[in-house]
Amino acid sequence: MWDPAAQAFRLNNPGTTVFTEDCNVLLKLVMSGEKTNSLGQKLPQKGDVEMLCGGPPCQGFSGMNRFNSRTYSKFKNSLVVSYL
């Protein structure tokens, strides 16, 4: 996520937690029992999450991306599966 957008969301929604890392990294941390991420943010535990807000990475789904069949784009496209 673009950091200025994350910061704007935080300012407009006090009390929310905004994670900007790759969802695969966050999922792995939570599943391994970690309590915080590399930025020191408290990771949600079972029963803590009220809402998830996210979407697919634009690059892999954009018709303007001439390289959407390359390995990196395919990986980025798979992030939506981890999110779900």
Domain definitions of the chain by residue range = 1-48, 54-84
C-alpha distances out from residue 12 to 1, 44, 61, 82, Å: 16, 21, 28, 27
Q: Is 53 a catalytic residue?
A: no
pTM: 0.63
* Mean residue pLDDT across the chain: 80
DSSP letter assigned to residue 58: H
Q: What's the average model confidence in pLDDT over 17-33? A: 89
Whole-angstrom distance, CA of residue 28 vs CA of residue 24: 6
> What pLDDT is stored for residue 20 in this prediction?
87
Catalytic entry in 5, 6, 8, 58? 58
- What band does 66 get if pLDDT is binned at 50, 70 and 90? low
